């Protein structure tokens, strides 16, 4: 079985791929290549700060928190900021209501920050709504691939 981190990231990708946002199925996890104009709009998912762990019980159960960035990316236009906010809202609603994520994250999950980002260069300017999420869960310290 995959590490708990990977299970959560895969669930986030699955929820957003099936969610019917303007990105459709253009949802990428751990992507390193720059997005091309033909791939927009898109959602980029990546770890953001990694995983924090603390002992939860004396019986070897850890509470862990995984920080994840979700970027709702559009081509930059005169309405890009408003469009990115609407795109971000759709993503936020999907993640907040996900039963698949609830099944993995027994200690909850929440968005901690949302901000507008304009980047790119030349004729490839991108507008993005960047969301920071934290997913909290329990694992046995000796079995970090089994979510409790």
Q: What is the DSSP string of 19-43?
A: TT-TTTT-EEES--SPPPGGG-SEE
- Closest to 129 measured CA to CA, from 68, 94, 81, 78: 81
Give the model's pLDDT for residue 37. 84
**CA 52, 28, 16, 107: dihedral to nearest 10 degrees?**
-10
Print pLDDT tens along the chain (148 aa): 899 999 999 999 999 999 999 999 999 999 999 888 889 999 999 999 889 988 888 788 999 999 999 999 999 888 988 999 999 999 999 999 999 999 999 999 999 999 999 876 656 678 899 999 999 999 998 999 999 9
- 24 preceded by a cis bond (ω within 30 of 0): no
- Closest to 96 measured CA to CA, from 84, 74, 112: 112
* CA–CA separation, 127 and 116 (whole Å): 7
Give the model's pLDDT for residue 120. 67
Q: What share of the chain is helix, strand, coil (3-state, %, to 5)?
A: 30, 45, 25
């Amino acid at each position: 079985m995959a590490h708990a981190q990977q299970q959560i990231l895969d669930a986030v990708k699955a929820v957003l791929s099936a969610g019917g946002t303007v990105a459709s199925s253009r949802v990428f996890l751990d992507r390193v290549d720059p997005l091309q104009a033909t791939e927009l709009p898109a959602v980029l998912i990546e770890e953001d700060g990694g995983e924090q762990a603390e002992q939860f019980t004396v019986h070897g159960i850890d509470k862990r928190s995984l920080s994840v960035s979700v970027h709702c990316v559009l081509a930059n236009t005169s309405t890009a900021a408003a469009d990115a906010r609407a795109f971000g809202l759709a993503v936020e609603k999907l993640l907040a209501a996900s039963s698949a994520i609830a099944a993995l994250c027994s200690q909850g999950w929440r968005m901690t920050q949302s901000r507008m980002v304009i980047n790119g260069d030349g004729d490839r300017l991108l507008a993005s709504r960047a969301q920071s999420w934290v997913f909290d869960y329990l694992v046995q310290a000796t079995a970090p691939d089994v979510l409790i």
